[in-house]
Structure 1
Amino acid sequence: MSTALPSRSRLVHDALRAAGIPGDIVVLPDSAATAVLAAEAVGVPVGAIANSLVFWSDDEALLVMTSGAHRVDTAALAQRLGRGPIRRATPEQVREATGQVIGGVAPTGHPAPLTTIVDEDLAQFPEIWAAGGTPHTVFPLTFGELLALTNGTVAKVD
């Protein structure tokens, strides 16, 4: 671990270690706020980027970890999950639910656990990368580690 990690990334690092996940958080010189930027920065296919998208549904935050290769079909996902409408969270809702900003939301390190859906398409990659709590930080993990870390439910999201 770099001693120069931002405070939000230190929280993520501590949560990773508590979960037994060895991947180190990498501080990037440029923003990786989009899946394309993150994939370019770490040299992986865009599909191997686990985008952390925060939605609002049934009066609670819903974290969807989706492959960077596609978009979430919120209507289809709501139907599959038996939930009310799923809407994109506002920047304020994202920060309140995660303590992090859009473009840097990690799958962990939040003030409280979030209901999490994990895109089944991420399973095809032996290693995936997720945001580390800021738009300039990322870390590697496996699909199994992501599921364990988030206590996520695997689903088709597109």
Structure 2
Amino acid sequence: MPNLAALVRKSITVGYAKDGIATEDRLLVEALFGAIGRFHWLKSEDEIDLATAVTGSGPGYVFSFVQHLQQAAERVGFSKETADLFARQIIVGAAGLVDEDPRSPLELKHAVASPGGTTAAGLAVFEQAEAMPRILNKTVAAAAVRAKELATEQS
């Protein structure tokens, strides 16, 4: 399922093929979907609904984060235009690093969070057990359940 990021050739598309599918057919699928981003083969058909909850719905989660970051920037005093610029460019810059830097997201997070600094103070709130970790786990689980329901309804 390609997502909206296909418009800028940055999507992630997944597929599943049963044994016996010719290598040249697999390569063709990879090339076609590779034209709009990255492609990844799933190990089983059961992973399709799980992938939908992450790859299909994930851009919406990121857009929500940007929206709320912009609103938070406005609440501390920035104009809507400045808050929008900041929120968008933060995502673009961070995404570029995640894409191009070989360090893990955890390592990158530590690289920008000086002990006792402003990022560490914000992350202390963001990463409380009942905050972002819980919200993302519930979000992805809800989307996976709904993907399975939709698949069942269409059968």
TM-score calculated relative to the size of structure 2: 0.25
- Ranked by relative contact order (alpha carbons within 8 Å, sequence separation 6 or more), the top structure is 1
Structure with greater proportional strand content: 1
- Where is the helix percentage greater, Structure 1 or Structure 2? 2
- The normalised TM-score by structure 1 is 0.24
